Amino acid sequence: MSQGPLDQLRGARIAHLIESDGPGGAERIVVSLATALQAAGAQNVAILPAGGEGWLTRELAGTGVAVEHYHLDRPVSPAFARSLEFTLRRHKVHIAHSHEFTMAVYGFWAAKRAGIAHLITMHGSRYYAERLRRRLALRLAVSWSDHVIAVSRQLAAHLTRDLWLRPSRVGTIPNAVHLDVAQRSSLRAELGLRDGERLVVAIGNLYPVKGHEHLLEAFAILADRFPMLHVAIAGRGEREGALLARATELRLQDRFHLLGLRSDVPNLLGAADVFVLPSLSEGLPLALLEAMMARRPIVATDVGEVSVALAGGTAGVLVKPAEAPALAVAIAHLLTDSSEARRLGDAAGRRAAAEYALSTMVERYASLYVEMLGKVRRRQQRSHLRGQVAVIK
């Protein structure tokens, strides 16, 4: 009986390198991937920044995944690359998996010095393309790495154009989620909602790119037509004060709820009549996938890989970004057509289970790891044979 890729990784030592440790999408993927691999018998170490929020360290506590912290105090630091190399050697790492720009560059440098395989995953937007020197540095890292992966086809296309790469050089592995669906949500009671009141939920940090201002403006358009409608946003960030001030101007402060950073995503989604993703830019957002897994009716802006995830609009309603009236029309449609809302929620659930299950993502990465381990072993064998030939001579 043939072994699957996860079975072939028993005993393999894998390092996960990332430049931040807050509760973002890339960080959550690191947690999911490292813990799944650890449970399958691989040995994992997460290499994280020191002095941050500590979210990743807390999430990995008790999983068996080792944690190392680093200090990087300047943009270009050969000493930091050497310290990463030392960490990789000390843990006897076979594969270094770097996430996002900074660790892609330093990770390839350290992995090359340590003589091990290196994989890059790019998660979000094109921030790496802002400066030519960043693009050149990332191109060099990609050129010397075994694989580069984008979480969406759109980001893969950007990487090939921005870094002057062949399209075949950049692979795509979509993000994925595991969601324990809440049997009974406590959010409506928490917000003091009465019978008959409706709730729109959004999940995302309160940054301008997440488009929450447009959701609030859409709410204002709907407020009179739906006097029992509430909007709740889970997340934290710099726009909190501005959003609350605008809600007060619109006289919606009693029906507009900022929930802060929440870990009970299934509980939040279980209370939602409609889930809204109003982002101005995205790769493949985990919040969207979680809403799909929870079979929620979805309204989302057509950015990044969102249209692909929602099967071109057959598993959720797509609208143009930054257009509050379009958001309002789509939300109203799902609030007033319960059969359509139910149909879209069911379609989203089926698509999420088929395409975005965590086990599928882990298997895809595991297949890459197995391939890279094979290459490393073959290189080592060739080096050993050359050494034997030199001795004979």
pLDDT in tens, 337-357: 999 999 999 999 999 999 999
Q: What is the DSSP letter of 124?
A: S
Structure tokens at 97: 């998996």
- Provide the pairing of β-strand 298-301 with 43-49: unpaired
Is 292 a residue whose pLDDT tops 50?
Answer: yes
The stretch 134-149 carries a mean pLDDT of 96
- The CATH-assigned architecture of domain 7-176+357-387 is 3-Layer(aba) Sandwich (3.40)
pLDDT band at 387 (very low <50, low <70, confident <90, very high): low
Separation between Cα atoms, residue 305 and residue 166, nearest integer Å: 21
pLDDT in tens, 299-313: 999 998 999 999 999
Is 181 a residue whose pLDDT tops 80?
Answer: no
With contact defined as beta carbons under 8 Å apart, do 84 and 106 qualify?
A: yes
Q: State pTM to two decimals.
A: 0.86
Average pLDDT, the chain: 93
Q: Give the per-residue pLDDT at 24.
A: 86
Is 268 a residue whose pLDDT tops 50?
Answer: yes
- Biggest distance spanned by C-alpha atoms of the chain: 90
The stretch 251-263 carries a mean pLDDT of 96
What fold does the segment set 187-355 form as a domain?
Answer: Rossmann fold (3.40.50)
The stretch 357-382 carries a mean pLDDT of 88
Q: Give the per-residue pLDDT at 378.
A: 76
Which of 70-79, 81-90, 227-236 shows the lowest per-residue confidence on average (mean pLDDT)?
Answer: 70-79
pLDDT in tens, 197-233: 999 999 999 999 999 999 999 999 999 999 999 999 9
Q: Give the per-residue pLDDT at 363.
A: 96
Q: Residue ranges per domain, the chain?
A: 7-176+357-387, 187-355
The stretch 155-176 carries a mean pLDDT of 95
Burial class of residue 221 (count of CB atoms within 10 Å of its CB; 0-12, 13-18, 19+): middle
With contact defined as beta carbons under 8 Å apart, do 162 and 126 qualify?
A: yes
The answer to whether the 7-176+357-387 and 187-355 domains have the same CATH topology is: yes
